[in-house]
Amino acid sequence: MPFENHEVINIIQEACSNTAELPWLEFKKNNANPQEIGEYVSALSNTAALYSRNYGFLIWGIDDETRKIVGTTFDHAKTKQGNQPLELWISTQLDPQVQFYFHNTIVDGRNVVLLEITAAHSVPVKFRGIEYIRIGSSKKKLQDFHDTERELWASFSKKSFEELLAIENVTSATVLQLLDFNEYFEMLSLDLPSSNEGIIERLQDEKMIAPSEAGNYNITNFGALLYAQQLSAFSSLERKAVRIIRYYGNDKVTSASKEIVSDKGYAGGFEDVIRNIMSMIPEDEIFESGIRRNFPKFPEPAVRELIGNLMIHQDLHMRGTNPMVEIFDNRIEVTNPGAPLIEKDRFVDFPPVSRNEKIAGFMRRVRICEERGIGFDRIVLQTELQRLPPPDIEIYKSHTKVVIYAHKEFSAMSRGERQLACYLHACLKRVNRDYMTNSSLRERFAIDAKNSSMISRLLNETQKAGLIKESYDSTKGKFRRFLPYWA
């Protein structure tokens, strides 16, 4: 959000009072060259990031040597590149996009123009395909300064996505409009402070907001992702909202569909997401003692674990893609931006690895997830309890998809599904310091003891496929004990 006029004047006056050369600050008199201005947007954005500043500034109307206000004839509104306005042309030449604003003001009776440029995050900003940086008092191509380039990339790794800013320089009143602070205090079982100042102080202690250079507040991605009233109010986070699509059939092409986008922050809106999903899940009719009952085809505990994992394990730096839940008559597909940090066949047993540590830690505090690495274990357990096919994990170059299927009889499952179910059952047993046996696998599939030979064949097939192995102290026959291959 751009600065107010009084804030612009304060920034200009402070810039003039500095005797030292500040790398993220550049003075000009009347330079109106669009190409050079665009290069400075890249250079000052990257330099601000290098020095851990929120902004870089380009100011017209100040003498570079004396720091005196001399005024300028530059008018960005009248400056064009071809037929395009200056602002529009520069924005189309930047990669990635970065926010910048021109401010016209009067200081000491003279016209001054301030260009406010947001610092780069995650990657250097290019202008027309080239990255620029300020070296001393000069603008240079970043590629010519390898040490500085390494430092800049290192500075990106120091700040997580959660620490970056979702919106900048807003009043305390705007903070309280944008963030669902009531939900925050309720979920943590805290008393609501009696004053707005107390609320702001608590949000600041939680690192959900931070003071801005102009005396207002910045809302961090951490705060907005968790408790935004509307994620769409934050331009950089709009595509982080969870999309829920219901297909009335088993394919995307011919099935009719209904879509909901959950626009609230992840913590404040978690229960809304679960309610929306469960309301769309198809149901099975079951007769018990002559009474017809409807049960969802997919267990809610598994859905809750899926959505918790979806929110905390996604690659938040990815752009142009939403976390997505697709509901079909025979399955649920949950697609997450980002490839997993562990191998897909070790999801059950592997120690917890959090891609977004601050969000994962907070979601644990409000009991949405436990951050103990057992989320997928619970999903597998729920599919076993309801005799569903095993959950499937599909890995793409930049996405992860988990699929839960509706009930199938053992005879209707494919060989691959049976072997995967067998492997995952062995994994569950192993993490509980137990062994898979013919008996335990029969119980998993609800197979009668008289058909134990059928399960023995499956155990042999799965062992031959390299997914399981016999325990070193296993006995012969139906009392054999099995472990996953990695145990």
From first to last of the 487 residues of the chain, give the pLDDT tens digit. 567 788 888 888 888 887 777 899 999 988 889 999 999 999 999 999 898 887 899 999 998 888 889 999 999 999 999 889 999 999 999 988 888 999 999 998 999 999 999 888 778 999 999 999 999 888 999 999 999 999 998 888 767 889 888 888 899 999 999 999 999 999 999 999 999 999 999 999 999 999 987 789 999 999 999 999 999 998 889 889 999 999 999 998 888 889 999 999 999 999 999 999 999 999 887 766 666 677 889 999 999 999 998 898 888 877 778 899 999 999 999 999 888 777 778 777 766 666 788 998 899 899 887 645 457 888 999 999 999 999 999 988 788 999 999 999 999 999 999 999 999 999 999 988 999 999 999 999 999 999 999 999 999 999 999 999 998 777 766 678 999 998 8
Class of residue 452 by CB neighbours under 10 A (exposed 0-12, middle 13-18, buried 19+): middle
482 contacts 463 by C-beta, under 8 angstroms = yes
Task: State how far the Cα of 226 lies from the Cα of 481, in Å rounded to an integer.
Answer: 45
The strands making up 324-327's β-sheet, listed across from edge to edge, are: 256-262, 242-248, 324-327, 331-337, 399-405, 392-395
Task: State how far the Cα of 268 lies from the Cα of 366, in Å rounded to an integer.
Answer: 10
CA end-to-end span of the chain: 54
CATH 3.30.950, applies to 5-159:
yes
Among 169, 184, 225, 480, smallest CA distance to 359 is for 225
Among 238, 258, 241, 270, smallest CA distance to 326 is for 258
Entry pTM = 0.72
| pLDDT value for 8 | 86
- Domain positions in the chain: 5-159, 165-233, 241-351+365-407, 412-487
Give the torsion through C-alpha atoms of 25, 29, 34, 37, to 10 deg: -10
Q: Please give the radius of gyration of the chain, using alpha carbons only, rounded to the nearest integer.
A: 29
Classify domain 241-351+365-407 at the CATH topology level: Heat Shock Protein 90 (3.30.565)
Would you give the distance in Å from CA 322 to the centre of its chain? 9
Class of residue 275 by CB neighbours under 10 A (exposed 0-12, middle 13-18, buried 19+): exposed
- Tell me the sheet residues that pair with 105: 112
Class of residue 450 by CB neighbours under 10 A (exposed 0-12, middle 13-18, buried 19+): exposed
| pLDDT value for 397 | 79
The answer for residues whose C-beta is within 8 angstroms of residue 76's C-beta and 6 or more apart is 86, 87, 102, 104, 113, 115
The answer, yes or no, to whether the previous bond of 96 is cis (omega within 30 of 0) is yes
- Total residues belonging to the chain: 487
| pLDDT value for 7 | 81
- Tokens representing 178? 């944008």
| C-alpha pair distances (Å), 174 with each of 50, 130, 167, 178, 246 | 29, 37, 11, 6, 35
Among 221, 222, 264, 224, smallest CA distance to 244 is for 264
The strands making up 481-484's β-sheet, listed across from edge to edge, are: 436-437, 481-484, 468-470
87 contacts 81 by C-beta, under 8 angstroms = no
DSSP letter at 195 equals S
Task: State how far the Cα of 167 lies from the Cα of 1, in Å rounded to an integer.
Answer: 6
- Tell me the sheet residues that pair with 404: 332
- Tokens representing 330? 């025979």
Strand 481-484 to 468-470 pairing: antiparallel
Q: What b/e sequence results for 297-327 when a residue is b if at least 16 CB atoms lie within 10 Å of its CB, and e otherwise? A: bbbeebbbbbbbbbbbbbbbeeeebbbbbbb
Q: Kindly state the greatest CA–CA separation across the chain.
A: 97
Would you give the distance in Å from CA 145 to the centre of its chain? 32
CATH of 412-487, picked from 1.10.3720.10, 2.10.109.10, 1.10.10.10, 3.30.465.10, is 1.10.10.10
